[in-house]
């Protein structure tokens, strides 16, 4: 079974600085998708960034980028120029190309200090 | 607003009672998912519908849980004989095209269940 591990329960960053959230996963499959979701307090989850496993190029969305290391099964999220609105729980998620449901990590709570 | 909606947002019930939650996906999305999220954890997949067909069920979905999507639009999740361990946030998500370049599941706000 696929598992997703986020080893940092909490992270803190100064406003305007850069922070990296870690995620590793375990799978025997070669075709899959990886996601980072953001869950602000008492608000619904929204997608931050996605990566297809077959793509070698790391995904980038404005201030958010990933470092996808397929061989190491690592998928970290880098947030540049952190803003107060980035404060939230961040979940790393995996979805097999053959299955429907996503597997989520336990999350990392990001605090942004002014 | 054309996002995913869930009703009710909060439900408090006594142990042993039955509860039913509703999810309305984004209108053009034919795929619908249910997840459960307990405090301090990431969501756990429960079940998946493509149109009205329930195609995948997690082993987390015990016999007390049943989900339906009778007309391929809204879905209901029923929990019978609730237990205190059922207390959680129940999330619904929808997706249009599994192989699209977006591949994004859009989440609703969730139904928070508290079993006393």
Tokens of A75: 């998928």
| pLDDT score for B82 | 97
Give how far Cα B42 sits from Cα of A3, A36, A89, B76, B110, Å. Answer: 12, 12, 9, 22, 13
| pLDDT score for B1 | 54
Tokens of B65: 């849980």
List of chain A residues whose C-beta atoms are within 8 Å of the C-beta of residue B24:
none
Beta carbons of B104 and A50 less than 8 Å apart: yes
Instruction: Return averaged pLDDT per consecutive 10 residues of chain A, 114 residues in all.
Output: 92 97 94 94 89 91 96 97 96 88 95 96
The shortest C-alpha distance from A94 to chain B (Å) reads 11
Give chain A's end-to-end CA distance (angstroms, integer). Answer: 41
Is the bond preceding A86 in cis, omega lying within 30 degrees of 0?
Answer: no
Which of A44, A91, A101 is closest, CB to CB, to B109? A44
| pLDDT score for B17 | 98
pLDDT of B83 > 90? The answer is yes
Beta carbons of B42 and A93 less than 8 Å apart: yes
**Which residues of A touch chain B, with CB atoms under 8 Å apart?**
4, 6, 33, 35, 37, 43-47, 50, 52, 91, 93, 95, 99-107
| pLDDT score for B99 | 57
d(CA B73, CA B9) in angstroms, rounded, equals 19
Tokens of B64: 């007390």
Q: Please state, as a whole number, how many other Cβ atoms lie within 10 Å of the Cβ of residue B78.
A: 13
| pLDDT score for B102 | 58
List of chain A residues whose C-beta atoms are within 8 Å of the C-beta of residue B46:
101
Q: Are B4 and B111 in contact (CB under 8 A)?
A: no
Beta carbons of A103 and B45 less than 8 Å apart: yes
Beta carbons of B56 and A47 less than 8 Å apart: no
Closest CA to B24 of B107, B113, B114, B104: B107
List of chain A residues whose C-beta atoms are within 8 Å of the C-beta of residue B102:
50
Q: Are B105 and A50 in contact (CB under 8 A)?
A: no
């Amino acid at each position: 079974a696929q598992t997703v591990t986020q080893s940092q329960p909490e992270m803190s960053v100064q406003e305007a600085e850069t922070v990296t959230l870690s995620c590793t996963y375990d799978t025997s499959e070669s075709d899959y998708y990886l996601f980072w979701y953001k869950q602000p307090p008492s608000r619904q989850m929204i997608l931050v960034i996605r990566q297809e496993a077959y793509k070698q190029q790391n995904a980038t969305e404005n201030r958010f980028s990933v470092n996808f290391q397929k061989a190491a099964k690592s998928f970290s999220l880098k947030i540049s120029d952190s803003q107060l609105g980035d404060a939230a729980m961040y979940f790393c998620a995996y979805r097999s190309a053959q299955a429907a449901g996503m597997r989520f990590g336990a999350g990392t709570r990001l605090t942004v200090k002014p | 607003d054309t996002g995913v909606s869930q009703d009710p947002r909060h439900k408090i019930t006594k142990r042993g009672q039955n509860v039913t939650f509703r999810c309305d996906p984004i209108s053009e999305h034919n795929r619908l998912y249910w997840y459960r999220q307990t405090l301090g954890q990431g969501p756990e997949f429960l079940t998946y519908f493509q149109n009205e067909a329930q195609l995948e069920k997690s082993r987390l979905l015990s016999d007390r849980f049943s989900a339906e999507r009778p007309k391929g639009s809204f879905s209901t999740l029923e929990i019978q004989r609730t237990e205190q361990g059922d207390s959680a946030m129940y999330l619904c998500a929808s997706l249009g095209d599994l192989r699209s370049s977006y591949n994004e599941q859009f989440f609703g706000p969730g139904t928070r269940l508290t079993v006393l």
